[in-house]
Amino acid sequence: MIAVGCDQGGFLLKQEIIKLLRERKLEYKDLGTYDEGSTDYPIYAKKVCECILSGEAEKGILICGTGIGVSMAANRYKGIRCALCGDVFSAKATRSHNDSNVLALGGRVLGTGLALEITNAWLDTEFSYEERHIRRINMLSELG
């Protein structure tokens, strides 16, 4: 299950991401926002992170105007590793090296085509399980 959330700046891109998840026949949960009315991005970061930390979702996708606000909010949660990606290389590397469990995207930064390529690359890349990457992720948890 993939939890998806956005604020008004990410609403249009969220619709495209949901279309992609449907096409890929991936189970998802749309945690809002559900229109372009002004709202606050920490609300949706909280919903997505709690859905992952409760075990209901395996991964999450968060979108705001820049992707920065939602990624800052998500990374405050212990056990959440949120990666703001603007290119395909980073999307693959953050899954392989950081085992990121949340992808953050900037709805006002990325074109739809690139955003969907990034999302596909992130979804398709497995964690490497290499010792050095496991060690570094464990070190992240020790930071608090």
Binding stretches for ligand RB5 (CB under 6 A): 7, 9, 41, 64-66, 68-69
The residue (of 32 and 128) whose beta carbon lies closer to ligand RB5 is: 32
Residues, the chain = 144
Does the annotation count 97 as an active-site position? yes
CA distance 29 to 69: 21
The residue (of 77 and 127) whose beta carbon lies closer to ligand RB5 is: 77
Measured from each CB, the residue nearest to ligand RB5 is 69
Measured CA distances, 144 to 82, 84, 101, 139 (Å): 15, 20, 17, 9
Least gap, CB of 24 to ligand RB5 (angstroms): 26
Given 6, 49, 64, 82, the catalytic residue: 64
Least gap, CB of 95 to ligand RB5 (angstroms): 23
The residue (of 7 and 99) whose beta carbon lies closer to ligand RB5 is: 7
Cβ 68 vs Cβ 9: under 8 Å? no
Does the annotation count 85 as an active-site position? no
- Edge-to-edge order in the sheet of strand 28-30: 28-30, 2-6, 59-64, 102-106, 82-84
Q: Which residues are catalytic?
A: 64, 97
